[in-house]
Structure 1
Amino acid sequence: MSGVVDARLAELGLTLPEVVPPLAAYQPAVQSGAYVYTAGQLPMVDGKLSLTGKVGAEVTAEQAKELARICALNALAAVKSVVGDLDRVARVVKVVGFVASATDFTGQPGVVNGASELFAEVLGEKGVHARSAVGVAVLPLDAPVEVEVQVELVSG
């Protein structure tokens, strides 16, 4: 049954973006066996970051949560660029979210929920995953958040 995930994206009013071109020497996503691993995905829209800075300082937790959703959409686009059809995803196995955090900010899990919730909305049970939410000093381009994903593909 092809197109189930694409139909769900449309139902949610979401469109997968073009794959964000690499900022350095890496691929946006690679397949190894039954798994696809994405590079860290920044919240790029049309080649730009809408916000920069630290969460808990220049960026609110609510804004960062929305940016994490954009990262998740970018990750799905990267996966699709490798496998051709998101219906091949058996499940999202692991999500790692990095949050550029002000020194006193401790709400990283709530920020990364933006990505986790998007995967569940789009993929249902297949989108429920293990996860890490990590606070860091700075991210590339001064992005507030970055998300990487590991997905397992259906066999055959």
Structure 2
Amino acid sequence: MSDGTVEQRLADLGLTLPEVAAPLASYVPAVRSGAHVFTAGQLPLSSGELVATGKVGGEVSAEEAQAAARQCALNALAAVKSVVGTLDAVRQVVKVTVFVASTPDFTGQPVVANGASELLGDVFGDAGRHARSAVGVPVLPIDAPVEVELVVEVD
């Protein structure tokens, strides 16, 4: 990126990369396969605590869920870094999948997913443009409102 390192860009946005969240079960936070890194689903944990709990459209507003999706994306970036050593190795964010634990009548999953997508665009510029799925689900682990997974191409 012409604006310096990816982590400097995060700092310019007032963000810091968190520590990699410990897995909740038998898996690893991210795996590299060839030129791609696949992250496990990342919850909106900050300092070991969920930033929100409950269902979007119920206890959690769309705006709160969007912020939670942004936190999930930061956690996913930390997982990517744990595998490749530096986020400057990311050539392209390929695919983002966002799961939204929502009430049956909530249909704003794409708006919630924008929290992750916009962060990735802000951080990586054109390399942050990606394909995406935003899926409503009945429940997520530990009552999280959002979970995000990434596929990125790396050097």
SS at match of 2:135: strand
| Deviation, structure 1 residue 26 | 0.2
- Name the counterpart of 1:136: 137
Where has structure 1 moved over 3 Å in runs of 4 or more? Answer: none
Give, as a single letter, the amino acid of the residue that structure 2 aligns with 1:20.
Answer: A
SS at match of 2:70: helix
Equivalences for 1:135-154 in 2 at 5 Å?
A: 135-154=136-155
- Name the counterpart of 2:76: 75
- Name the counterpart of 2:18: 17
Whole-angstrom distance in 1 between the partners of 2:12 and 2:136: 33
Whole-angstrom distance in 2 between the partners of 1:113 and 1:140: 21
Deviations 1:73-100 (A, max 9, x none): 0000000000001110000000000000
Deviations 1:85-142 (A, max 9, x none): 1110000000000000101000000000000000000111111100000000000000
Structure 2 unaligned regions, length at least 5? none
Whole-angstrom distance in 1 between the partners of 2:88 and 2:52: 32
Whole-angstrom distance in 2 between the partners of 1:62 and 1:50: 12
Whole-angstrom distance in 2 between the partners of 1:51 and 1:94: 24
Q: How many residues are paired up?
A: 153
TM-score where L is the length of structure 1: 0.96
Structure 1 unaligned regions, length at least 5? none
Whole-angstrom distance in 2 between the partners of 1:47 and 1:85: 23
Percent identity over the alignment is 69
Deviations 1:45-80 (A, max 9, x none): 111112110000000000000000000000000000
Give, as a single letter, the amino acid of the residue that structure 2 aligns with 1:69.
Answer: R
Equivalences for 1:25-64 in 2 at 5 Å?
A: 25-64=26-65
Q: Does 1:103 align with 2:107?
A: no
Give, as a single letter, the amino acid of the residue that structure 2 aligns with 1:123.
Answer: F
Whole-angstrom distance in 1 between the partners of 2:103 and 2:87: 36
